[in-house]
Copies of this chain bind each other. A is one copy, B any other.
């Protein structure tokens, strides 16, 4: 067991940290004031600098324009980038494109790759992922209502999706639709590639989330598929394997989310420390002198340290034993890190007082935007039940005697 990081990697992380702090953080006030549209041009400049440094798309395949870093190293990179809501986008490794790129790379046909993959990795186009439906519970695959009916050499897709992140301005949409309604529940749906501008694909709205409909990459769309027709060659992976592919997508994806959240948690903790040291309460007194403030700091550090190590361990386990073997570890951190982030941001706001609820710091943005972390990719409650099931697997009734009251 060795927790050390190579000097090379450490040097790289330090470089990235300096870049993020000096080039990306300063864009936040514009983002907070005007949304994604207000910073899109500046971000393009930053992205070009990232490309110039040879840092672009750290996790993506080299042959398509990325850097090909392994999961554990990339996880540490994401922690650095997660310090600001604009970090991942600046480096071409943002959701949902990162997951879509993985799907295309692993399951796409040569034609799919030719048409989409390179441009996506290089950041020339964006994509979205349309799975969740507004009127059905995502946790139950039987309920999926969107249908892709075979009609000659085409699929005709009908249904309503929402929370398609970044659909506004995307070129490609990967949609999950029922192709085999009579198959066993988890083999009914398929993933299909649909150009965002396909006839019948109606962009209903950017959903107003926590006060803002957002725009561009920072938005979540409701989409209506009104008999959208695509050739059967648009199928991604085998028919009926949509849920299998979705699971593939989720494993490393959850590491990505968790490391990003840890980065954001670290940022919030840094702001909390700086505020505690700088807020003057009297001639010889600053906020940091108060034990209740110290308590907010200390509990945050305890939780962050532990959540970070649990996530790095899960990332290591995926690399070492595969995502399937690491399923329990992944569920553990999904719940833990999302809750840790929420608690640390909440404490940071409290330490900032009135300033904390303003948009003069990034904290209120994190408070609003990251509340969803406990919901997407499986709500806490779903993961908790799933964790329990995995924990209980090795146990059977025969072991019961050890826990019965003694017969005397």
Contacts and interface: CB of A to CB of B under 8 A. Distances in A.
Interface in A164-199: none
B360 A332 contact: no
A358 interface: yes
Contact of A357 (B33, B209, B286, B291): B209
Interface stretch (A103-111, A237-245, A246-254, A371-379): A371-379
Given A297-B387, A332-B301, A405 B291 contact: no
B359 A371 contact: no
A275 to B, nearest CB: 4
Contacts of A143: 280-282
B399 A274 contact: yes
B1 A408 contact: no
B72 A381 contact: no
A302 B143 CA distance: 30
Contacts of A2: 1-2, 316
A384 B295 CA distance: 6
Nearest to A277: B395
Given A295-B295, A371-B357, A336 B306 contact: yes
A137 B144 CA distance: 39
Contact of A208 (B32, B371, B384): B32
Contact of A371 (B332, B367, B375): B367
Given A208-B32, A317-B3, A387-B298, A276 B392 contact: yes
A277 B211 contact: no
Contacts of A281: 137, 139-140, 143
Interface stretch (A12-20, A89-97, A345-353): A345-353
Contacts of A352: 403
